[in-house]
Structure 1
Amino acid sequence: MSIFRSLKHHNFRLHFTGQAISLIGTWMQRVAISWLVYRLTESAFLLGLVTFLSMIPSLVLSPFAGSFIDRHNKFRIVMVTQVGLMIQAGVLAAMVWLNYYNMIWIAVLSLAQGLINAFDTTARQSLMGDLVDNKEDLPNAIALNSSAFNAARLVGPALAGIILSSFGEDICFLINFLSFIAVICCLSMMKLKLSTPSASGADIWTDLRKGYEYLKESPDLSSLIVMLAASSLLVIPYTTLLPVFAKDVFHGDATTFSWFESAAGLGALGGAIYMAMLRPGKDLVKITVMSSIVFAVALLGLAISSSMFMALLATAATGVGLMIQNSAINTYLQTHASSEMKARTLSYYIMSYQGMLPVGSLVIGYLAHIFGVNMVVFAEGIMGILIVLVFVMHQKGNTHAYWMKILHPMRSKHVE
């Protein structure tokens, strides 16, 4: 079974190509804005605040966005949001090029990016099922989409490190602005046959409640979403602190920071390739549990690393665990949610991931300012393990038997 089998579909191939190019620019902008904020302020708290502003709209607006997208043309929404993100990157580039280093405007632009992303991410995720003609290829398409994201996370920060050192943040923002041309061109060449959303007699708040009730009646879906929400609040925000590791713990510069981002991207790319190679029928819940454990243990390793090599190795391992965890949950939701509730289900997934992450980033940034980055990241690793334990206990009343099945799959298979 080919790892690239979903690329045979015309529309997904265009989507993959456009995203692969644009995401490199997106990651360059993420690295550049994080480095810019920390260079100007040297404050872990303000670093967390900018991340908070860029993602908090997902917490507030994602359920609304899911209901809105279920009522409207997903493709048109994606086109509009991509143009909006392009404009946001252009304004950032102009501001830095003019040496207008204003933290208030940086915060406003980060908030604007978050508002657009609340609709863009939900619309693109719910559009995935329409990009492949054979639904058996959907899990592979999701994994390849994640591969493009994480390949960009590998290449983007590496390029950003070079450009930041040689030219400055404004060039990174300009490249991101130009990269959206690829996405818009690819979207324009797609040949989609989207069914017109059925008109709903209920108002949007009623639709929101229906989405909540659907998840409440689907514990297999809701338990994974709650697990991801807890992880996004207490574990995943370690990513906000990578500039602090680079600059304060290992006394590096922008290039050092790009190494950490690239290490995480390399690990995540490996995790995405693993997910793309999975055959249909694999136990995605078991994969979620195991990857979450890898993620948490890797965080403990990062916290106690005494050398740059060990820290980068641990950061790569966090990328593996985080990538597989999120991809497995995403794939499970995409393949198990009903078609009429898919956008609303995915909106709760996005809310639990991108929505809770800014709250966690703000809290983690504040705690790191008080207690130090190593202690806080170590605590995040402990919390990651506890979250997995609670999830397992919720999934199975007989926790011991479930752990034996996970830790000894061959023995379990033999008994069966």
Structure 2
Amino acid sequence: MRIIRKYRLILFGFGFSYLGNWVNLVALNLLVWHLTESPTAMASIFIVGPIARILTSFFAGSIIDRYNKQKLMIYSDIIRGILILLLPFTSSIWLIYGVLFLSNIASSFFGPSSTYYISKYVPDKDKQSFNAILGIFSSGSFLIGPALAGFIIALSDVSVAIWFNALTFFVCALAIFKLPVVDGRQDMHRQRLTWQMLKEDYGIVYAYIKKERAFAKVFLYFQGALMIAFALDSQEATFIKQNLQASDSLYGVMVSIAGIGAIIGGAMAARYAKRFSTRQYIIYGLLLTTICYTLFYLSPNVAMGTISFIALGICMSFCNAGYSTFYQLSVPSAIMGRFGSVSTMGVNMLQIVFTLALGILADWLSLQLVCIVFGILAIFISLLLYVFMHSKSAYEGLKEEIV
């Protein structure tokens, strides 16, 4: 496809990094499960990252908007690669959490920087197609990563799978280094970070949110439902092993098969990117995604769980492509770093609350029952977004390219 040829370097760099992340996720889940066999400990993997990102978000956006984003992405990848290399040498769950904490601090700079770079590097007419194709690379990693993790672990051990993830960070850094500069100048003007500067930056973000109320409502509804979905992700491995009685290898196969749906969905999202609006991608994609999450935790056996996984992959591809395009079109590039960091702070607070609550309730009550209730809550929030994005205020307040 034209989009793949045109943006092959950034797609390869990000795609290879996605592959490593999925390999690492499977390996890390198994490492922590065998150490603790605790749903709370498993949930904590998904809490350490948000805590690190919340603390870093107080100042990360102010740095990102004033420095060269391309360099920040490169430095972030190199630091994360070094930290992940150290992970297998840790001997306790608390040391694992510590390495993950530091790695997520570096990630706090990569995310907003990459969003800014894509918004400047990819023209508006290509954004939805590009995001859908990037989703295919992510989905392909979702398919190949767990299977590759299982293969690596079968031939060696969990440590080698984790080291593979470190390698992908270094390769991604090299790919980003070879991309063109989009900041307009290679050396950005550096300013000393002060409390007054941070206060002014928060004021700018608040003024933007107050002005763009329609955008703010879509953002809150979408992220609210998505954070519940992420909380449900934290119990995925526990549910598969504890309730569906699957082995380690079958767990990897299930997650890998789910990637088939994600690849199909990504291809469909790319194919119809110019036919359907961003609004349609968001509202229908999110609603069906939350329904699929709920159906997965309603599954009585591995077969039904796998079918739900495949459907989830298809729906989430549309959801992600639509939201990424919505964000890139809506947030001004001049404040993208600051808005991204401030919003990350709030979003990760939600993720911590939902994930910790889910983990604790799952220890006290039935894991399946608690996950189903959370899934229904996510569906309700998705319906609120559906209603709002069909309202008059949404049509008047959002950009024409979105509705």
**What's the TM-score, normalizing by structure 1?**
0.85
Letter in 2 for 1:195: G
Distance 1:143 1:325, change over 3 A: same
Q: Indicate the residue corresponding to 1:382 in structure 2.
A: 376
Contact 2:121 2:182 in 1 (8 A): no
Q: Which runs of 5+ in 1 are unaligned?
A: 403-416
* Identity among equivalent pairs (%): 21
Q: Indicate the residue corresponding to 2:400 in structure 1.
A: none
Deviation of 1:199 (Å)? 7.7
Q: Indicate the residue corresponding to 1:406 in structure 2.
A: none
Distance (Å, rounded) in 2 between the aligned partners of 1:358 and 1:84: 24
Q: Does 1:356 align with 2:353?
A: no
The 4+ residue runs of structure 1 with deviation greater than 6 A are 198-202
Q: Indicate the residue corresponding to 1:29 in structure 2.
A: 24
Letter in 2 for 1:109: V
Task: Say which is worse superposed, 352-361 or 205-214, in terms of deviation.
Answer: 352-361
Deviation of 1:60 (Å)? 4.1
Q: Does 1:131 align with 2:121?
A: yes
Deviation of 1:396 (Å)? 5.1
Letter in 2 for 1:118: S
Question: Of residues 90, 105, 127 in structure 2, which corresponds to 1:115?
Answer: 105
Task: Say which is worse superposed, 106-115 or 323-332, in terms of deviation.
Answer: 323-332
Distance (Å, rounded) in 2 between the aligned partners of 1:394 and 1:149: 29
Instruction: Give CA-to-partner distance per residue, 1:333-391, whole Å, 9 cap, x none.
Output: 10122232333344456456556334322221222222222112211221122102322
Task: Say which is worse superposed, 51-60 or 308-317, in terms of deviation.
Answer: 51-60
Q: Indicate the residue corresponding to 1:298 in structure 2.
A: 292
Task: Say which is worse superposed, 66-75 or 252-261, in terms of deviation.
Answer: 252-261
Task: Say which is worse superposed, 308-317 or 274-283, in terms of deviation.
Answer: 274-283
The number of residue pairs the alignment matches comes to 389
Distance 1:257 1:138, change over 3 A: same
- Superposed, which structure 2 residues align to 1:221-232 within 5 Å? 221-232=215-226
Question: Of residues 314, 320, 343 in structure 2, which corresponds to 1:320?
Answer: 314
Q: Does 1:5 align with 2:19?
A: no
Contact 2:119 2:333 in 1 (8 A): no
Q: Indicate the residue corresponding to 2:153 in structure 1.
A: 164
**What's the TM-score, normalizing by structure 2?**
0.88
Distance (Å, rounded) in 2 between the aligned partners of 1:49 and 1:344: 27
SS in 2 for 1:101: coil
Letter in 2 for 1:181: F
Contact 2:281 2:322 in 1 (8 A): yes
Deviation of 1:103 (Å)? 0.9
Letter in 2 for 1:120: F
Question: Of residues 138, 146, 149 in structure 1, which corresponds to 2:135?
Answer: 146
Q: Does 1:282 align with 2:301?
A: no
Instruction: Give CA-to-partner distance per residue, 1:166-192, whole Å, 9 cap, x none.
Output: 422101111112222321221232232
Contact 1:63 1:344 in 2 (8 A): no
SS in 1 for 2:65: helix
Contact 1:66 1:345 in 2 (8 A): yes
Contact 1:268 1:320 in 2 (8 A): yes
Distance 1:288 1:60, change over 3 A: farther
Letter in 2 for 1:295: T
Distance 1:203 1:359, change over 3 A: same
Deviation of 1:15 (Å)? 1.5
Distance 1:353 1:156, change over 3 A: farther
Question: Of residues 65, 69, 72 in structure 1, which corresponds to 2:67?
Answer: 72
Q: Does 1:55 align with 2:55?
A: no
Contact 2:128 2:322 in 1 (8 A): no
Q: Does 1:178 align with 2:175?
A: no
Q: Which runs of 5+ in 2 are unaligned?
A: 396-403
| Cα RMSD after superposing both structures | 2.6
